[in-house]
Amino acid sequence: MNKKEIVLVVMDGVGISDETYGNAVKNANTPNLDYLMNNYPHTLIKAHGTYVGLPSDEDMGNSEVGHNALGCGQIYSQGAKLVNTSLSSGEMFKGSTWKALVENAKTSTMHFIGLLSDGNVHSNINHLFTLMEQAKKDGIKRVRIHILLDGRDVDETSALKYVDMLEKEISELNDSNFNAKIASGGGRMYITMDRYESDWKMVERGWHTHVLGDARMFDSATSAIETYRKELNVIDQNLPNFVIGESGVPVGTIEDGDSVIFFNFRGDRALEISESFDQDDFNKFDRIRRPHVMYAGMLQYDADLKIPRNYLTEPPKIKNTLTEELCKYNIREYAISETQKFGHVTYFWNGNRTEKFNDELEEYAEVPSDVISFDKKPAMKSYEITDKLIDAIKSRKYDFLRTNFPNGDMVGHTGNYEATIKSLEAVDENLHRIIEAVKEVDGILIVLADHGNAEEMYQLKDRSKKIPKTSHTLNPVPFIIYANDTSNIHIKDGTFGLANVASTITTLMGIDANPNWLESIIEYKK
C-alpha cells in the first residue's frame, strides 16, 4: 500500500469551456490552477447527464449526484430518472404511500408544493402534471398547488412560462367533479427551499405562505409575478411570497385532514420544509398552527434520519462506496467544508448516509457558512476551510483528506459575474496554500470539480445584453493530479466521468478497486 497522504479538492461549479464570454473561470486570475493544468497530469471528465445517473446528456449535473458518483465509483439512477421510471411504470401509484395520500384527501384537499420548472435538477413540472392527472383519476376532488419559482436552473425570468403551462393543465383537468387552483408561491431563494439550516427564515416564510395563507394577496400568480417584477426588479428566484385569494380569502390554506406532497426529487432543499411538517418536537420557528395532515416527499430525502416518514419513490440504494472500501484497509479519512457543501463531502459522498461507517477512521469538520448573499462575500469560508485542512494535512493523522470549496457554485448562482471572478481567485489563492502543504508532506493532490457553473455566467444566445445565467452547465470539469514526482502517473486514453475517480484514488493508494466500480482514470507505475 502507498502510504502517501492523498488530498482531494472539489472546486464546486468550476467547468471548463473554450468560450471567453462570461467565463469567470477562464477570465479570473488563477495562476495556481493554470500552473497545475500546464505542468501536471490532467484531463477533462464528464459531470452531467448519464455520467452521473441522470436521464439524458441534456441534463445538467449537480453537486448531489456529483458527490454520489465521486464517492461510490458507480453510476446509479438518480433524481429525475428514478422518478421518471416510477411514474412511467405506474409503480408509484401502486404503492401504499400514494394510496394512503389519496384515501386521506378524498373528502378534503390534496396539496402539491414544489419548484415549478423543467430544470430537472430539483423537480420537473411534468411530474406535477402526472400527479395531478392521477389524483383526478383516483377520485380526488380538490387540489391546490403551491409554486416555487425557479430562475436558477432555468432562465432567470421564465416563471410566467411555467405558470402558463400549469394554468393550461388546470383548465383541461377542471370540471364539475375536480377543482384545482394555484394557492401560493414565491421565489425559491426567498421561501421554503433553504438547505443545510443556513436560513430557517426562508422556511418560516414558506410555512406562513403555504400553510397559513399569510402573505400579500393577489388574484392570480401571473398578477403576483408581474407586480413584484415591476416594483422590485428582481429575478424569479428572489421574488417575494404571495397567496392567491378570492373575495379576500386565501384559496388554499393547508388544513386538518389534507394530504401534502412535496414534489421535488432532490433532497438538500427539501429537508427543512419536510421537517416542519413531520416533526412533533420541531423548534426552528413558531409554526403558529400545525395542521394534522399526511405529508410525503417525492423521495425520502434522508434515509438515515427518515425525513420525511412518507415518500413516493424509493431512493437509490448505494452500496460499495469508496469509504466502505477504505475502512477495510484501516485508512483514516478527513472531510471538511463549510455548511453550504458540508453534506456533500459527508452524506452524499458516503452514498446518502448520515452516519459514519467507522467513527474511529472518519473525522468530519464543518465551518459554519455566513447567512448572506454569497456575492457580498465571494471568498465565503475558503480561507477558514484551508486553515483547518492544512492543519489536518500536517498532522499526518490521515491517509485520505477531502474538501469542497463552494465558491464557484454558490457565488455563480447569484448571477454576479464580478463577484464570481473574485470567488474563484480566492479559491485559487487557497489552492496554492494546499499545494505547498501537500509538497511539504510529500503527498498527492487531486483537484477536480463536481459540475460546471462559473464558466457560463451569461446567456450565450444573446450577447448584447449580458443576461446573467445562474444555472449549472453541461461542460466537462478538470481532473488534475499533483505530486512532487508524477513521472509514474499516466492518464489513460478514453472518456471518463466523476464515477471513475474512486478507483483512481485506490490506484494511487496501491490497493485494489472494488470490482463494482468503473475503471481508474490513470495507470500508476511504482
Sequence-distant (6+) residues with CB within 8 A of 121 are 60, 62, 79, 153, 266, 471, 472
Phi-psi label, residue 380: left if phi above 0, alpha if psi -120 to 50, beta otherwise:
left
Nearest in space to 52 (alpha carbons), one of 461, 476, 429: 476
d(CA 264, CA 258) in angstroms, rounded, equals 19
Distances in Å between the Cα of 269 and the Cα atoms of 144, 291, 413, 454 are 21, 22, 15, 21
Task: Report yes or no: 407 and 380 within 8 Å, Cβ to Cβ.
Answer: yes
DSSP sequence for 192-218: S---TTS-HHHHHHHHHHHTT--S-EE
Q: What are phi and psi of 475, to 5 degrees?
A: -75, 155
Cβ contact 504:520 at 8 Å: yes
Query: Strand 362-367 relative to strand 333-338: parallel, antiparallel, unpaired?
Result: parallel
Active site residue 63: yes
CA dihedral 94, 311, 185, 164 (to 10 degrees): -30
Q: Which of 74, 109, 206, 58 is nearest to 516 (CA)?
A: 74
Buried b (16+ CB within 10 A) or exposed e, 249-288: ebbbbbeeebbbbbbbbbbbbbbbbbbbbbeeeeebeebe
- Tally Cβ neighbours within 10 Å of residue 395: 12
Buried b (16+ CB within 10 A) or exposed e, 289-328: eebebbbbbbbbbbbeeebbebbbbebbebeebbbbbbbe
Catalytic residue among 17, 63, 86, 520: 63
Largest CA distance in the chain: 77
| Angstrom distance (rounded) from CA 61 to CA 48 | 4
The catalytic residue positions are: 63
